[in-house]
Structure 1
């Protein structure tokens, strides 16, 4: 394995903090480098080496973070959601081509049974509870002949993740070490990360957001990350006090859940040392951004990312740079442009598909030439998002192309409707979506969660919207729920929501 890989992953000073966790001693950068090297040797001894693929099925926490870093340094790693059912695990493990699966020492769930049925080796991670956070050893039967001791080389595949597959078969995205290094560097530069920064990670570590924005960018800047067991609004303020982070990153639904409990935690808020808050992976309503800044007294940096770009593509800037509510910011690493269907690049103010190119972008989906043909047409990667650049070249995402509602030929951005409905004083959360209609094809619908202790009727909310939107954009159906269905990473799901709610 190339020493450059380890130095890039854990770039801090020998005694500088790297990985911490609730009620655990802190692992330093020097100890992290040694942990990665030890784990690489253990993987090699068990028959895992360069080019082999190791799926990781572990809960959130410091060992998940260090296992990802270690496996990526010795082989190619594929973190999987521990909540997957047996049939989902069979698909992902087969599609990845996993040689081994790394699970917890006491894991007895479907991951082990599926791996054994598929002839995939099972390795067990034993967390060293009396050692600093993230310390572990690997045990299990050899999965092949011992591999030649070596770290990954510069152009090896480090990480394999699947797209969400909301409307089609999930696509497998291979990301190289240069892809990950570029993205970590871009995020660090955008946020001005230094060795003094500590990130509070509440994102799942089977997703690109948590892996790269929280963990890798922090460590590559010589800083540290406080690894929680996963998002828990009831424990967030306790972790805020214990970790004393300088920043955290999350999806909008998490920010909203945190705000709902903020008034009950005045002491934690008063003592907070946040330099900024970051939001990505879904649209952050301007109203939520303003409330976060007011409650925490620090800037909120809204960013735009996706798996195929190893996360970050665009971002707002820290003060004194521009921060525009409703915008995901300017290019923050790769080039960002707006393209017409015929491949022409469009001028500021013109709406089209968002396209990118740069060192953090995957070289292509694996085993999917048809998808690659369309995704990389005209020399750019096509994000599948619709947007527009303003005169400052700040990007506004107007929606996923597949989520744009086509109401009898009228095209409606669900994000535009979201923004209007969020202005209603009773509305805490909203997601606008397409509902099937027998004559128009699609009709506008919205699912809404009301603020605690507040009452509002469907007619009242529709009347509010009708004064602010063209008639064809006003939701014909409003469903008031206690909770809107979310995906595994906490993102609200537009596609398929009508069917889940039994509409149309």
Structure 2
């Protein structure tokens, strides 16, 4: 199989009559139909005045149309999937930062993104699906607009996908991923998992996130296989979807695996009737106990992988049998080169020494968009600094020992503490605010905050949580808000996020 460097070529892998996209209670979309849909979509975008490298924001619910919209639009423009749960303020930031040429929503959508786009003068393009037709089939409808990028299918150096990743600064960073980046990552996942045209992935991951887009959708299509697109994750419906889809594998974050395990005993028949080949876990650390329970329950290997947006997802992966899987590690380099660099300087460290995880390879972004300061910090001698701390053993297996960045990793959702700080500070009763991570037994980390009230002001924890929920998506809202007379500071006067949960006695 030749190494595709753009999504149009990647889609050539599947046999014409083989299923590509499936969904509950719908006939499957074949690979030939998907290729035709992609070509028709590129032509339609061109007629609307949208071309290569034009950013197109996509706000759609999880499901087959979100999968096909990502794939088809990326063949001729730049996709920018956004979380449908965002509030108006968040959509306003992302649409502005992207300089979106258009917003794609489903016909009849009530998303607040629509009003924001209209206020910004961003044209609305409606995705019209056929509920009785093949899963994922759609047409785009909208008014033509002037200008736009070059017409025709995108090539390997065009930007296929833009996602934001939040740091500890107030401004999330834009990660442009070129066609060659996402195709390399899809190929790396295909090789690591041994995917073939016989494989079908049950996708329960959100498709505004790099994990679902690349690991579930693009890797499957690049293998000539298929994806069964569930309408989001619902642990109560998982086993019915397992029975209907009859997948060979699924990929998820640890919290999803734990929810599935909690219902596995009463669904033994469904598990036995739809045997899997493997289970994949990524986006957050998988507790070894959960890995063991999954392998015992499903009688298949559980493959833990390590990914991030800047690497178009996969960097390392535990290998398939007969090579050993090491619980607690994220496996061996699986595509890009992976090394450990001294946290100060550029020296690469030998096995057994702890430092910053660095990567380089075809799947790695060439740099953040319009952010020279971030790029200067992120790249050293051609290596991308992940911000994660880790150690590689003598066998080449990587263990992540901590994060250098102060991101909160809530079950795989990365949250910028500074973003939450700034919303809390907008409350009239709040004088200072500091957001930080606290341990959580299922999510790994949860959002917490401490505040100092302004003189003479009062506020309750419930009031502040409600205030944040009006501005930010639910997963960013602090689950605990504590009131202090003074926020702890370090020797230089810098507010101390790291270790604050322990100092305040907040434990899992």
Shorter chain as normaliser: what TM range? 0.7 to 0.9
Match of 1:369 in 2: 372
- How far apart are residue 154 of structure 1 and its match? 2.0
- How far apart are residue 378 of structure 1 and its match? 3.0
Match of 2:405 in 1: 402
Match of 2:202 in 1: 200
Residues 347-358 of structure 1: matches in 2 within 5 Å? 347-358=350-361
Q: Is the 8 A contact 1:17 1:26 kept in 2?
A: yes
Q: Is the 8 A contact 1:46 1:145 kept in 2?
A: no
Q: Is the 8 A contact 2:305 2:318 kept in 1?
A: yes
Q: Is the 8 A contact 1:100 1:143 kept in 2?
A: no
Residues 44-59 of structure 1: matches in 2 within 5 Å? 44-59=46-61
- Aligned to 1:114, the other structure's residue is in SS state helix
- How far apart are residue 237 of structure 1 and its match? 0.2
Residues in 2 aligned to 1:269 and 1:102: alpha-carbon distance in whole angstroms: 37
Match of 1:225 in 2: 227
Say if 1:377 and 1:257 are closer, same or farther in 2 by CA, change over 3 A: same
Match of 1:360 in 2: 363
Say if 1:442 and 1:500 are closer, same or farther in 2 by CA, change over 3 A: closer
1:383 aligns with 2:386: yes
- How far apart are residue 140 of structure 1 and its match? 1.4
- How far apart are residue 27 of structure 1 and its match? 0.6
Question: Which of 344, 348, 361 is equivalent to 1:345?
Answer: 348
- Aligned to 1:74, the other structure's residue is in SS state coil
1:392 aligns with 2:386: no
Say if 1:18 and 1:449 are closer, same or farther in 2 by CA, change over 3 A: closer
Instruction: After superposition, give the CA deviation of every residue in 1:60-90 in whole Å (9 maximum; x if it has no partner).
Output: 0000000001110011110000111111001
Match of 1:87 in 2: 89
Say if 1:126 and 1:220 are closer, same or farther in 2 by CA, change over 3 A: same
Residues in 1 aligned to 2:38 and 2:282: alpha-carbon distance in whole angstroms: 29
Residues 12-411 of structure 1: matches in 2 within 5 Å? 12-144=14-146, 149-165=151-167, 168-340=170-342, 341-402=344-405
Residues in 1 aligned to 2:479 and 2:376: alpha-carbon distance in whole angstroms: 30
Say if 1:8 and 1:444 are closer, same or farther in 2 by CA, change over 3 A: closer
- Aligned to 1:7, the other structure's residue is in SS state helix
Larger RCO (alpha carbons 8 Å, 6+ apart): 2
Q: Is the 8 A contact 2:167 2:406 kept in 1?
A: no
Residues in 2 aligned to 1:297 and 1:144: alpha-carbon distance in whole angstroms: 56
Instruction: After superposition, give the CA deviation of every residue in 1:267-292 in whole Å (9 maximum; x if it has no partner).
Output: 10111220000000000000000000
**TM-score w.r.t. structure 1 length?**
0.81
- How far apart are residue 403 of structure 1 and its match? 5.0
Residues in 2 aligned to 1:253 and 1:63: alpha-carbon distance in whole angstroms: 25
- How far apart are residue 163 of structure 1 and its match? 0.4
Backbone CA RMSD of aligned residues? 2.9
1:6 aligns with 2:8: yes
Residues in 1 aligned to 2:208 and 2:407: alpha-carbon distance in whole angstroms: 28
Q: Is the 8 A contact 1:50 1:74 kept in 2?
A: yes
- How far apart are residue 130 of structure 1 and its match? 2.2
Residues in 1 aligned to 2:483 and 2:278: alpha-carbon distance in whole angstroms: 37
Instruction: After superposition, give the CA deviation of every residue in 1:123-167 in whole Å (9 maximum; x if it has no partner).
Output: 000001221101000111112258764111221000000003465
Say if 1:172 and 1:404 are closer, same or farther in 2 by CA, change over 3 A: closer
- Aligned to 2:266, the other structure's residue is in SS state coil
Residues in 2 aligned to 1:281 and 1:444: alpha-carbon distance in whole angstroms: 17
Residues in 2 aligned to 1:329 and 1:262: alpha-carbon distance in whole angstroms: 26
Residues in 2 aligned to 1:274 and 1:443: alpha-carbon distance in whole angstroms: 39
- Aligned to 1:264, the other structure's residue is in SS state helix
Unaligned runs of 5+ residues in structure 1 are: 406-413, 416-432, 434-440, 451-489
Residues in 1 aligned to 2:474 and 2:367: alpha-carbon distance in whole angstroms: 25
Instruction: After superposition, give the CA deviation of every residue in 1:20-56 in whole Å (9 maximum; x if it has no partner).
Output: 0000000110110001111111111111111211000
Residues in 2 aligned to 1:268 and 1:94: alpha-carbon distance in whole angstroms: 46
**TM-score w.r.t. structure 2 length?**
0.80
- Aligned to 1:292, the other structure's residue is in SS state helix
Q: Is the 8 A contact 2:247 2:276 kept in 1?
A: yes
Instruction: After superposition, give the CA deviation of every residue in 1:190-221 in whole Å (9 maximum; x if it has no partner).
Output: 00000000000000000000000000000001
Say if 1:382 and 1:307 are closer, same or farther in 2 by CA, change over 3 A: same
- How far apart are residue 500 of structure 1 and its match? 7.6
Q: Is the 8 A contact 2:338 2:359 kept in 1?
A: yes
Say if 1:361 and 1:442 are closer, same or farther in 2 by CA, change over 3 A: closer
Q: Is the 8 A contact 1:388 1:398 kept in 2?
A: yes
Q: Is the 8 A contact 1:193 1:218 kept in 2?
A: yes
Say if 1:48 and 1:297 are closer, same or farther in 2 by CA, change over 3 A: same
Say if 1:346 and 1:149 are closer, same or farther in 2 by CA, change over 3 A: closer
Q: Is the 8 A contact 1:330 1:394 kept in 2?
A: yes
Instruction: After superposition, give the CA deviation of every residue in 1:288-346 in whole Å (9 maximum; x if it has no partner).
Output: 00000000000000000000000000000010012000000000000000011221100
